[in-house]
Amino acid sequence: MVRDNRRRMRSKKKCRLCGSKTTYIDYKNLSLLREYVTEKGKIIPKRITGNCAKHQRMVKEAIQRARFMALLPYTKE
């Protein structure tokens, strides 16, 4: 069983923000937020970044705040 599974197994992504025990994501921390945004300025889904739901929500909140204050773009080109 284990061997069969191993063939198909991908390395499981872990929430990096859980690793660092983040309790608040500052919307002014643009270098961090840029990691969770595509080149076009869209928010990267958690299935790709590996964030847990709680931290994805924090990231979303921070990005939306930064966008409103024109710190991050809504779209690029």
Partner 1 sequence: MIRIYETMFIVSPRLDEESRNSMAEKVRDYIVERVSGTIEKFDRWGIRKLAYRVTKGFSEGDYTVIQFKADSESVDILEKFYGITPEVFRWQTFRREDLEKAEKKALLKKGTSEEELPEGQTEVKAVESAVVEVSEAVVEKTTETVATEE
Which residues in this chain contact partner 1 in the complex, by CB under 8 A? 23-24, 28, 65, 67-74
CB 38 within 8 A of CB 72: no
Question: What are the structure tokens assigned to 63, written together?
Answer: 């990005």
Nearer residue to partner 1 within complex by CB, 37 or 46: 37
Locus of tokens 């958690």: 46
Nearer residue to partner 1 within complex by CB, 33 or 51: 33
Shortest Å, Cβ 75 to partner 1: 8
| Spatial separation of the C-alpha atoms in residues 51 and 20, rounded to whole Å | 12
Question: What are the structure tokens assigned to 32, written together?
Answer: 């961090």
Shortest Å, Cβ 1 to partner 1: 40
Nearer residue to partner 1 within complex by CB, 9 or 70: 70
